[in-house]
Structure 1
């Protein structure tokens, strides 16, 4: 029969004091209410905290911060959609779509969102009471002056995107408009994912007192998304960091 060492009987555990880490995780979760444990762990390590991902997750769950809302699963039929080339460089493929919301008094507003599919960077969010084809073209021209001309833009079949005005701009600039199949939002998955983050992290957590207030708060969130929010598909870099690293490597 094996005998235990005498020291075993008198051992006293010495748990590490993790109150500081716990407090910081709670603070991040309180201000970034739609961030999960993995993203909070990245932010904690970025600030210099020495903590592994398992401990971050344990504290995250202990404090009741885990997200409870479940997202519906995609149907398996979505996997059979037509294959599209994956963007391998900046400006190779953009995506754009509309998001609807309202001011505190119920007045409706719309936002045109534009994303670079390669860097995941939010290029623009144009906000107004109503947005027409002319506003879409104006946004494209503005981005063209700032970022250059994309090769391809993925859009749905909304009236603003199938308009002659946008079609003419795209033809003159040599841009291909890549339309999603009707009823298939997964054909434009990047902008769908981005719009979900915009709604969860901005639209659903703010009251907009006026159109100018909405524009200011949404633009602040866009800058935060690009320059602060780590992106798991970019090895936890921010979109801006990923774009600058790509340019620095000589890949324009």
Structure 2
């Protein structure tokens, strides 16, 4: 429209109801070489540390990258370490319940309450 009708970019955007900022936007390539180098150095030294420890060490070195940028590079480099699986109890072997063969072979006691003395009948 600008070349065909010879109007300015501002007028063309206004006519098309198109934001000028979108028209003027020029994408910047992401330069993450420094972040990649720092993360690779940390992984070589400390293989078992996770993202947050890596990020904190980078910040302590004086770099001011935010955690979102560092995390994006961290995941692109596939540095996500697998966490140990939760320790689980071994599966129990199922056993059938014991059924007594005769009367009085097995006894059990069912306690509804347990006390050393009865408060109501004591002679205090």
The normalised TM-score by structure 2 is: 0.51
Contact 1:21–1:49 (8 Å) recurs in 2: no
- Post-superposition Cα deviations, 1:103-126, rounded to whole Å, max 9, x if no partner, equal xxxxxxxxxxxxxxxxxxxxxxxx
Q: Could you say which structure has the higher helix fraction?
A: 1
1:21 aligns with 2:54: no
- Cα 1:3/1:74, change in 2 over 3 Å: farther
Higher relative contact order (CA 8 A, sep 6+): 1
Q: TM-score, normalised by structure 1?
A: 0.27
Provide Cα deviations, 1:165-200, integer angstroms capped at 9, x if missing partner: xxxxxxxxxxxxxxxxxxxxxxxxxxxxxxxxxxxx
Matching residue of 1:61: 75
Q: CA deviation at 1:7?
A: 4.5
Q: Contact 1:41/1:56 (CA < 8 Å) preserved in 2?
A: yes
Instruction: Give unpaired runs (5+ residues) of structure 2.
Output: 1-15, 90-124
* Partners of 2:71 and 2:22 in 1: CA distance: 30
Q: Could you tell me how far 1:74 is from its partner in structure 2? A: 7.0
Q: Does structure 1 residue 51 correspond to structure 2 residue 62?
A: no
Whichever structure has more strand as a proportion of its residues is: 1
Gaps of 5+ in 1: 76-252
Q: Which residue of 2 aligns with 1:30?
A: 44
Partner Cα separation in structure 2 for residue 74 and residue 47 of structure 1: 40
Contact kept in structure 1, 2:32 and 2:73, CA below 8 Å: no
* Corresponding residue of 1:5: 19
Indicate the RMSD between aligned Cα atoms, in angstroms: 2.3
Runs of 4+ in 1 over 3 A off after TM superposition: none
